[in-house]
Structure 1
Amino acid sequence: MPRPVRVLPAPGTFTLDRNTTVSGDTAAGEWLRRHVGAATGLPLAEAEHGDVRFRIAPEKIAVPEGYRIEITERGVRAEAHDESGAHYAAQTLRQLLGADAWRDSPVRRGPWPLPCGEIEDHPRFSWRGCHLDLARHFMPKREVLRFVELLAAHKLNVLHLHLTDDQGWRVEVPGLPRLTEIGAWRKGSQLGAGPHAGYVDRPHGGYYTESDLTEIVAHAAEHRITVVPEIDVPGHCQAAIASYPELGNDPRRKLEVWTGWGVSEHVLNAEESTVEFFRRVFDHVMSVFPSPVICVGGDEVPPHEWERDPRSVRRSEALGLSEPARLHGWFLRRIIDHLHTNGRRALSWDEALDSGERPPTGCIVASWRDEAAGLRAADAGYDTVMCPEQRVYLDHRQSDDPDEPVPVGFVRTLEDVYAYEPVPAESPSSVFQHVLGTQAQVWTEHLDSPSRVDYAAFPRLCAFAEVAWSRSAVRDFSRFRARLESEHLDRLTAFGVEFRPLEGPMPWQKRPGVPGDPR
């Protein structure tokens, strides 16, 4: 899982044992030795001509990230287009070894058989992402590393980290200490959603040091995942303004890091000093994250402060803008140009299309409000990532049962997620060529612990991974569910994932009395 392009079973097995050796010109052998070796207790020693061989062979495997595995009674041969393909071949072998191969230490001596046959596989989309919101609820570094491994196990290759918002700033920036001394902490948190939401009077916060983020990036690279960081501007910035009031539109007003959910009306001012402040932030982000893509946010930017603030009105006039609301696009353009000048590509949410200034050529548009926004972006020549909230927001409720914890958003069942088609069949070819792929979203307003993230994400993220990897012609929900129930949930259990059972939440996964806001 996700389902390969072609599987050709054959009789017999090849069994891994203490004498099994591994060889090849890729990092996949070392990954197999470290992770599968730890689970099985087998040394999987390196040898010149191993029983399990990995080889990079783009002349044979034409599609990027593709691979081919042949398992016979004599051994395993895995050929791949590139290092990513070799890694996915190793992930596939771990799945074939059974659930206990997903553990950190051995729970049995073996045997460890692999079924004979051939597997040919490659992805449909180059961007197979998952967004994780660390701003609303901080997750310890060890949990982010674990989440990376779960994405890789499902052949997802982009981790989009939402690192700043009104409710918290999670990135240590040299020379700007108040961003984490003040912006990383809030006094409490809204509990639930809707008009009857409550409040938890308990401080919350945390942030990642430069070393933490470097470790996350390195761990992700080992698992063939690109980490795309997001610093959200010019809205969703209350934590930054609370840290440095001069960034806001009324520096005399002392804001606090927001304890509620939703969209704060407090946005950045449009002074050159504020642009320069965030250039400095993005320079640091670029030094830590080697990703070719950096997200600038750009979503949900209310113009009310600019419209009421005489300084902002004068600033918009001086810039030749028809109205203060267009400061949104002006600010985004300044940051995006800075990223592009430094050899990176900006990713913005789809509001950038309506911000008053078209995004520069080369900007990627993440279509979250609906699929139409992504189609509009693609039609205008922008590469796009499809991530509509109506289809792939995994924090939304999984059923309309009253026991569903914190019932927010749309009902999106496992089958709903599996049925998602990122590129509508009627789309013209010009749209197809600009859709880089798709991304699931995990927002954490109502996911206040790693176990709650597990519950919301799995097993729906398994379904999404198959949407992103496998072509729609080979997808069949009844067969997917059978594979899930017969084998894959056991793998998740062995890995320690606190997923939502298919029949509904366990008693300890419910949140009685916490109000929601269903749509």
Structure 2
Amino acid sequence: MNAVIPRPAARATPDSTPALTVAGPWRVRADDQRLTEVADTVHALLEPHLGARLLPGDTPAAHASEILLLLDGTSVPPARTAGTDPAGGAEPADEAYALTVHAQGITCRARTPQGAFRAATTAAQLIATAPDGGTIEAQEVTDAPRYAWRGLLIDPARCFLAPAEVRRIIDLAALYKLNVLHLHLTDNEGWRLELPSLPALTRGQTDADGKRLFYTADEYRDLQSYAARRHITLMPEIDLPGHCAALRAALPDLPPAPAPESARGFPFVPPLDLTDPATHAAVSAVLADVCALTDGPFVHIGGDEAVGITDACFDAGVRELRALARKSGKRPVSWQEASRAGTGPEDLAQFWVDVPMMDLPGTPEELADRPDLLAAGMTMEFASALTSFFAPSDHDVERILAGGGRLLLSPQSHLYLDRRYSAEVTPPHRARDAERLGFPTYRPRSVRHTASWDPASHGIPDDRIAGVEATVFGETLTGLDDLTTLLLPRLGSVAEAAWSGRAAEWEEYRRRLSRHAGLWRERGLAYFDAQDVPWE
């Protein structure tokens, strides 16, 4: 069985061709020096799975099976990718490939190094998910992605990850053919990037043991280089004008933004007022430094949940944040709420919410039927306030489309992976984790629920979809194991929808997914053994 995730677009099994034995030694070889870095990176990705069986690339062919990388368009399908290239190209990169499994190894063909790397991750999955001491069926695979942007957001602002831990997430993303790592670097809870012009932002950012809780400029550059070698673009997020308590703690003299009457009684940290000269100077310095440190073309400016700011001040702030990013040569990305400050063809907005997606109770009876909300302290007064606050989100998508912008799909209903696992799929020994991990006001869901998501379900024209991005915010996390427990097994179906452009067929998909537990164990990654998957 081919257990590859995302599922390749086409696969054929030639008659009478011998299978490939997995147990013997392996090497990774490039026949073109333009693929040398790809071969080295694939070798590193395979080390947790092959160990001492992974030999240097110059090992004689007679002594090892091999993954052979070729820049050769033979049998490679046409690129069929739509959306926005996260690396900044005018057109999406050509990631199409062809792969052949034969008795001597696996041959990967592509027209570009990106395509060769995606083929090699398919080969790595075939090896890692094969039965112990087993074989891989002879096969011909052709494949290409549907969406150019296939991303994952992680949240070191709330749950800091050391650089080595971020690299492990980058490797995981690469194995599932994701190509963007979105770092939510700032929020009320912390500021996680050292900036040369404002060292106060990271002063005191340490834990109880004195361990540093931010990335130095050099560490940030190194993470970008590490990701780039895996054909992943790193995108930083500086979340403004709301979510700014950490910035306010470092720069306490900045005045609050003017607040509307409706904000009274609603808890919030006063957003920033970019019409104030001192605030404008500080934010200008922040974005200039972030843009200068960032290799990729995109910087995320936030724009979400700016509770306690007037419409006029929010409008002015978002417009200025966009202008500052563009002045520094970057293309701004924002959450969908920024559309209320206008949207143009160059704008990329991340769609995450509408009122139905909030799944809030409308009556006391509905609240009484939601023990998860009651346990989190939800009241009808607060539910009504949330419904009112998020009501404008119901029209954000039409604003973005009307203005000519593109949408990055991250619907909270399915792609927010900081969601609890439901009781019916929780094995008894994981009950505590199921109760502890995940945002408490989101309805707990099964693995199948996430896998049911279809990019077409929102009715957004395909040519206006920039891509797909899953998110894992860190309010309930304590470290890497918690993060991967929420990610795995749900990340696979998001990667499949982003690559193929459609929802997985559940019964077939869950059989493939069941083989990936061994891959995660070999990589030392914690996962949730949900009961709606027949784990092997």
User: TM-score of the superposition, structure 1-length normalised?
Assistant: 0.79
Alpha carbons of 1:263 and 1:156: their partners in 2 closer, same or farther (altered >3 Å)? farther
Q: Is 2:446 aligned against 1:413?
A: yes
Q: Distance in 2 between matches of 1:263 and 1:364?
A: 29
Name the one with the larger helix percent.
Answer: 2
Which residue does 2:68 correspond to in 1?
53
On the 8 A contact 1:129/1:159 being kept in 2, the answer is yes
Q: CA deviation at 1:457?
A: 1.0
On the 8 A contact 1:210/1:288 being kept in 2, the answer is yes
Spell out the pairing of 1:125-144 with structure 2 (5 A cutoff): 125-144=147-166
Which residue does 1:35 correspond to in 2?
45
Q: CA deviation at 1:175?
A: 2.9
- Partner of residue 93 from structure 1, selected from 114, 118, 123: 123
Q: Distance in 2 between matches of 1:374 and 1:460?
A: 26
Q: Distance in 2 between matches of 1:129 and 1:413?
A: 21
Gaps of 5+ in 2: 80-93, 258-265, 358-393, 425-430
Partner SS state of residue 106, structure 2: strand
User: TM-score of the superposition, structure 2-length normalised?
Assistant: 0.76
Q: Distance in 1 between matches of 2:141 and 2:148?
A: 20
Alpha carbons of 1:453 and 1:274: their partners in 2 closer, same or farther (altered >3 Å)? same
Q: Is 2:150 aligned against 1:166?
A: no
Spell out the pairing of 1:177-216 with structure 2 (5 A cutoff): 177-182=199-204, 184=205, 206-216=213-223
The Cα offsets for residues 45-85 of structure 1, whole Å up to 9 and x where unpaired, read as 24899954322346844312111112223443211132222
On the 8 A contact 1:37/1:44 being kept in 2, the answer is no
The amino acid that maps onto 1:69 is L
The Cα offsets for residues 72-125 of structure 1, whole Å up to 9 and x where unpaired, read as 234432111322221111111111113599xxxxxxxx9685432111111111
Q: Distance in 1 between matches of 2:293 and 2:509?
A: 39
Which residue does 2:416 correspond to in 1?
393
Which residue does 1:333 correspond to in 2?
319
Q: CA deviation at 1:170?
A: 0.4
Which residue does 1:224 correspond to in 2?
231
On the 8 A contact 1:392/1:417 being kept in 2, the answer is yes
Q: Is 2:292 aligned against 1:291?
A: no
The Cα offsets for residues 334-368 of structure 1, whole Å up to 9 and x where unpaired, read as 121122233321100011122xx314541200011
On the 8 A contact 1:378/1:435 being kept in 2, the answer is no
On the 8 A contact 2:446/2:532 being kept in 1, the answer is no
Q: CA deviation at 1:203?
A: 9.2
Which residue does 2:506 correspond to in 1?
477
Q: CA deviation at 1:374?
A: 3.7
Q: Distance in 2 between matches of 1:4 and 1:21?
A: 21
On the 8 A contact 2:158/2:190 being kept in 1, the answer is yes
Q: Is 2:19 aligned against 1:13?
A: yes
Q: CA deviation at 1:299?
A: 0.7
Partner SS state of residue 245, structure 1: coil
Partner SS state of residue 502, structure 1: coil
Q: Is 2:351 aligned against 1:367?
A: yes
Q: CA deviation at 1:126?
A: 0.8
On the 8 A contact 1:13/1:72 being kept in 2, the answer is yes
The amino acid that maps onto 2:108 is A
- Partner of residue 83 from structure 1, selected from 113, 117, 134: 113
Q: Is 2:268 aligned against 1:264?
A: yes
Q: Is 2:531 aligned against 1:503?
A: yes
Which residue does 2:479 correspond to in 1?
449
Q: Distance in 2 between matches of 1:359 and 1:471?
A: 25
Partner SS state of residue 224, structure 1: coil
Gaps of 5+ in 1: 102-109, 188-201, 251-261, 305-323, 506-519
Which residue does 1:490 correspond to in 2?
518
On the 8 A contact 1:70/1:116 being kept in 2, the answer is yes
Which residue does 1:423 correspond to in 2?
456
Alpha carbons of 1:113 and 1:23: their partners in 2 closer, same or farther (altered >3 Å)? farther
On the 8 A contact 1:138/1:205 being kept in 2, the answer is no
Tell me the C-alpha RMSD between the 2 structures.
3.0
The amino acid that maps onto 2:318 is L
Q: CA deviation at 1:18?
A: 5.0
On the 8 A contact 1:124/1:470 being kept in 2, the answer is yes
The amino acid that maps onto 2:178 is L
Alpha carbons of 1:276 and 1:52: their partners in 2 closer, same or farther (altered >3 Å)? same
What percent identity do the matched residue pairs reach? 27
The amino acid that maps onto 1:82 is T
Q: Distance in 2 between matches of 1:138 and 1:13?
A: 45
On the 8 A contact 1:348/1:364 being kept in 2, the answer is yes
- Count of equivalent residues: 445
- Partner of residue 78 from structure 2, selected from 22, 44, 62: 62
